[in-house]
Structure 1
Amino acid sequence: MGDPEGAVRVTDLMPQRHRAPDLVRIVQGVRGEVTMRSTLRLRFDYGSVVPWVRRADGHRVAVAGPDSVWLRSVPDVKTWGENQSTVSEFTVREGERVAFVLTWHPSHEPRPRLVDPYSSLRHSVTDWRAWAGRCRYDGPHRDAVVRSLITLKALTYRPTGGIVAAPTTSLPEEPGGVRNWDYRFCWLRDSTLTLNALLAAGYQDEAEAWRDWLLRAVAGDPADLQIMYGLAGERRLPEFELPWLSGFDGATPVRTGNGAVKQLQLDVYGEVMDSLALARSSGLSAQPDVWALQSVLMDFLRTAWRQPDEGLWEVRGGRRHFVHSKVMVWVAADRAVRTLEENPGLGGDLDGWRELRDEVHREVCEKGTTPRGTRSRSRTARVNSTRRCC
């Protein structure tokens, strides 16, 4: 079928979102004549629900509960049902294009407006090039830096400014393993690195949006500060296993949510204080009550810093004392001291925070280091204690 020497180019994109999210696939004939086959196998609720599929306005519509997905092609391509899938076959010749547009929206709402797949591609390329062109970095490996910044931007939820750690769940840390965690949330620990990267590259607007998300998310009792939040600052992220899914390459269990959200990780207080100090020193627009929040966090750390916690590695075998957690408490105290020294009009317990900083420093030096030439534990024990758990 078709030309054995034929070739096509397939381009996938998600146009800038206005109302409903769209997924576009464009098949372009490059050489000769090629017959293509397309199979769309939709499943909702993590693969547990097979939707009803019907025709409406010349489109295929899949509906189940709150979800609705519309499939259309430009130009129109005949589709049919086969083994609980939507299938099509079409031929593309050199210079021809066929586009498929997949659009999700709440099933109780009317069909969203149609997007033109070809103009969407042009606009997306233009917008991304313009955004990447704003990068101020001009050092070694610029292409890699821009690619990383694009990834941060793509992981950003524009309405809130939240940036997820990853768009996936349950990819195993090792083949066939059980350490398969859900990373589709915003970790406070990432905030300093994220702000640093955006500000250093000249992306002030994105940095401000991320800073503002951070402020909204952490508002409340400092004792209830979480290590992660949802894209809009949601606090409840219950962890569930999905036994009907086999997992990537057989790695189970597959999880949604993340139980580590309830852990105590003292280092996040240091990351939050460092992020807000960085925002202030970088000249981001002032936000009311920021310093009041920071002062409350420091009051909490005066006594809480001595507690054991689950630490950077999010261990699930009981709390322990981690050197990294204590060091980040020192960072929190140091940033509070520096901010107040540079801005004395803010007001605060400068002497008390200096004392806390010195106290943490002494304890880390006395209990968190090993004299040169002394072996405190086996190599295996050291490796096990630093393995990230979730």
Structure 2
Amino acid sequence: MSAPLEHYGLIGDTTTVGLVSRYGSLDWLCLPRIDSDACFAKLLGRDDHGYWTIRPATAIRTLERRYRRDTLVLETEFACESGRVRLIDFMPPCVAPRDATRLVDEAHDVIRIVEGIEGEVPMHSDLRARFGYGRVIPWIQCAGGRATLTSGPAALAFSSPASLDPDWNAARLETNFAVRAGQRLPFTLTFYPSHELAPAHPVDAEQELARTERHWREWAGRCRYQGRWHDAVVRSLLTLKALTYAPTGGIVAAPTTSLPEELGGVRNWDYRYCWLRDSTLTLDALMRGGYLEEAQAWRDWLMRAVAGAPAQLQIMYGVAGEHRLTEIELPWLPGYEESRPVRIGNGAYDQFQLDVYGEVLNTLYDAHAHGLPDLPHTWDPIVEIVDFVEKSWQRPDEGIWEIRGGKQLHFTHSKLMTWVAVDRAVRMIEEFGVGGQHRLEKRLQRWRALREEIRLDLLDRGFNTRVGAFTQSYGSDALDASVLLIPHMGFLAADDPRMLSTVAAIEKGLTRDGLVLRYATETGVDGLPGDEATFLICSFWLADNYAMVGRLDEAEALLDRLVSLRNDIGLLAEEYSPELRRQLGNFPQAFSHIGLVNTAHIIEARRAGKEVSLPSAA
């Protein structure tokens, strides 16, 4: 059985990610890409779905773990009766093809170094790879301390400092050994295409460890934020970088699939894709952190992904901009804590969501405002997007939360983002001269009128006077946390009476133990049975609203609470259940870490009396 989410640590090489439990079990790893088939899938099933564990072969008295400072090198220290031992887990960063020598499809390495600290500790390594998300048993060839595991197009080369004891019936590789104080024993697992020769020699583990530490510390050292939450911000930025597919600049929402929003429930989705809804907040987090190159790579990925007809714009894409993300179920996996079904792919990719048009243009506007170099030939797509919004903004859609109930509504957040799309296009002309204002004067006049039409419509129909709040959709009494973004988008100031009453309504009707839900699932609007926990990014948005109106003590207290919900090594999932005191949903979640970075910056700026870099309110 898999461990609680809080027990997992993340290692990664900027093309894929592995999750290692507190007791040294690598339970999730997709190779060669973050969205490839998993070769270790115990996270979503049982032992026979694949894992690799290294742990003491004796009783463990105490256990501590940490990341080496400002890195993704994970250390777990076991204290046993006969001594103490340290397990060092990491993946050497891959180099993007544009930068140098190593191609994406070449070797990816997982390196695990066992270091003796005191006495002598008996240890056990057990590797049970299962390709195809735990379904396919590989062909194993073994000689001494080396082995290869092959299945279809994929293969793994395994190297152990001790002789392997293969269990052919169970298709697993075991090693029993002892480590004494001062010894360092390296285990390596290398992915390679099966049509190529296996690597002749294992990688130099110590050399790769030094390179990996240097890489991450140099990267973390570029962080500009030096405020009260510095360590939490740096850890969140490192996590965000780990969720980046370096060759393209795409950033996935999470490295996992089907981790449930409710234990035993059906709200289990594949998050190993790039959502347009995250684009502006991602860009802001990277720019505020001082990561211009990553922000530019994300903006460039965005423009490549959305290239084409605006009517075909999707809410999400693959890490290289893939369009087809067909959703299927994997019946042989029982799911995390029996939460079925397990899904790969995401059927929401072909939903119609109006908010994505605002996300794209808001990201381009922010890129200009932050001084990112212009991309050539972007103006024509901007014109096409706004022209499409002009014809389509009054259509119903499925909304930011990807409602699957088959009900299309006039979602308030969707209408807000159509206003954003038009507003940012106008501002790019007026403030930056994009496209040439004189040449576009007639279109500019029409767009200004359209912007005002959408604004009046939203104020008239989106604000429910009975509830005293902007509600989920036109004519609805239901609350929705997405309206907390209204001040972020510059539509209204945070201290506008309508926003103040909206915040009060959400505090009263859409929180559990002080944390914010996306919406009330009991309304049935999403057409799914069951419930979900509080959605962490929404609580960060509430803290932002507190800060923007000067409720700084409350903003800081809420941010401190959210920081305290991270696991012992600083990672956040998508959701948190106050009742269970557990993290839920896909893990770790980019959106949650983006929220932490942005909220810390907003509070620090407000505390210092500075303006936050948000568009001025209409």
Alignment TM-score, normalising by the size of structure 2: 0.60
Out of 141, 144, 164, the residue aligned to residue 78 of structure 1 is 164
CA-to-aligned-CA distance 1:323-382 (integer Å, 9 cap, x gap): 000001111111111111113462432111111111111111111111166696376996
Residues 350 and 53 of structure 1: CA distance in aligned 2, closer, same or farther (over 3 Å): same
Q: Are 1:125 and 2:213 an aligned pair?
A: yes
1:30 counterpart residue number: 117
Do the aligned partners of 1:77 and 1:90 also contact (CA within 8 Å) in 2?
no
2:485 counterpart residue number: none
Q: Are 1:10 and 2:87 an aligned pair?
A: yes
Out of 424, 427, 444, the residue aligned to residue 350 of structure 1 is 444
What is the DSSP-based 3-state SS (H/G/I as helix, E as strand, rest coil) of the residue aligned with 2:224?
A: coil
Q: How does 1:331-346 map to 2 (within 5 A)?
A: 331-344=420-433, 346=435
2:373 counterpart residue number: 285
Q: Are 1:148 and 2:239 an aligned pair?
A: no
Report the CA distance between 1:140 and its aligned residue.
Answer: 2.0
Residues 382 and 143 of structure 1: CA distance in aligned 2, closer, same or farther (over 3 Å): closer
CA-to-aligned-CA distance 1:232-271 (integer Å, 9 cap, x gap): 0000000000000001011000000000000011101111
CA distance in structure 1 between the aligned counterparts of 2:467 and 2:149, rounded to whole angstroms: 66
Q: What letter is aligned with 2:430?
A: E
Q: How does 1:43-122 map to 2 (within 5 A)?
A: 43-55=130-142, 59-73=146-160, 75-81=161-167, 83-112=170-199, 114-122=202-210
Q: Are 1:170 and 2:270 an aligned pair?
A: no
CA distance in structure 1 between the aligned counterparts of 2:468 and 2:122, rounded to whole angstroms: 69
Q: How does 1:126-275 map to 2 (within 5 A)?
A: 126-275=214-363
Do the aligned partners of 2:83 and 2:121 also contact (CA within 8 Å) in 1?
yes
Residues 275 and 382 of structure 1: CA distance in aligned 2, closer, same or farther (over 3 Å): closer
CA distance in structure 2 between the aligned counterparts of 1:327 and 1:238, rounded to whole angstroms: 29
Q: What letter is aligned with 1:352?
A: R
CA-to-aligned-CA distance 1:194-248 (integer Å, 9 cap, x gap): 1101111111111111111111000000000000000100000000000000010
Q: Are 1:359 and 2:453 an aligned pair?
A: yes
Do the aligned partners of 2:162 and 2:175 also contact (CA within 8 Å) in 1?
no
Structure 2 stretches lacking a partner, 5+ long? 1-56, 59-79, 95-101, 470-475, 479-508, 511-517, 529-584, 586-618
**RMSD, aligned CA:** 2.2
| Further displaced range: 290-299 or 214-223 | 290-299
How many pairs align? 389
Residues 388 and 60 of structure 1: CA distance in aligned 2, closer, same or farther (over 3 Å): farther
Do the aligned partners of 1:61 and 1:70 also contact (CA within 8 Å) in 2?
yes
Q: Are 1:327 and 2:424 an aligned pair?
A: no
Q: Are 1:312 and 2:400 an aligned pair?
A: yes
CA distance in structure 2 between the aligned counterparts of 1:344 and 1:8, rounded to whole angstroms: 62
2:520 counterpart residue number: 383
CA distance in structure 1 between the aligned counterparts of 2:90 and 2:113, rounded to whole angstroms: 9
| Further displaced range: 341-350 or 80-89 | 341-350
Report the CA distance between 1:55 and its aligned residue.
Answer: 2.4
CA distance in structure 2 between the aligned counterparts of 1:353 and 1:388, rounded to whole angstroms: 36
- Percent of residue pairs identical: 52
Do the aligned partners of 2:464 and 2:477 also contact (CA within 8 Å) in 1?
no
Out of 378, 386, 394, the residue aligned to residue 298 of structure 1 is 386
Segments of 4+ in structure 1 off by > 3 A?
75-79, 372-382, 385-390
Residues 387 and 27 of structure 1: CA distance in aligned 2, closer, same or farther (over 3 Å): farther
CA distance in structure 1 between the aligned counterparts of 2:395 and 2:361, rounded to whole angstroms: 19
Do the aligned partners of 1:313 and 1:388 also contact (CA within 8 Å) in 2?
no
Do the aligned partners of 2:121 and 2:180 also contact (CA within 8 Å) in 1?
yes
2:463 counterpart residue number: 369
Do the aligned partners of 1:312 and 1:388 also contact (CA within 8 Å) in 2?
no
CA distance in structure 2 between the aligned counterparts of 1:61 and 1:138, rounded to whole angstroms: 47
What is the DSSP-based 3-state SS (H/G/I as helix, E as strand, rest coil) of the residue aligned with 2:86?
A: strand
Report the CA distance between 1:173 and its aligned residue.
Answer: 0.3
Do the aligned partners of 1:7 and 1:34 also contact (CA within 8 Å) in 2?
yes
CA distance in structure 2 between the aligned counterparts of 1:382 and 1:172, rounded to whole angstroms: 17
Q: What letter is aligned with 1:5?
A: S
Report the CA distance between 1:5 and its aligned residue.
Answer: 3.3
| Further displaced range: 189-198 or 370-379 | 370-379
2:497 counterpart residue number: none
What is the DSSP-based 3-state SS (H/G/I as helix, E as strand, rest coil) of the residue aligned with 1:45?
A: helix
What is the DSSP-based 3-state SS (H/G/I as helix, E as strand, rest coil) of the residue aligned with 1:46?
A: helix
Structure 1 stretches lacking a partner, 5+ long? none
Report the CA distance between 1:388 and its aligned residue.
Answer: 11
CA-to-aligned-CA distance 1:26-45 (integer Å, 9 cap, x gap): 11111111111111110001
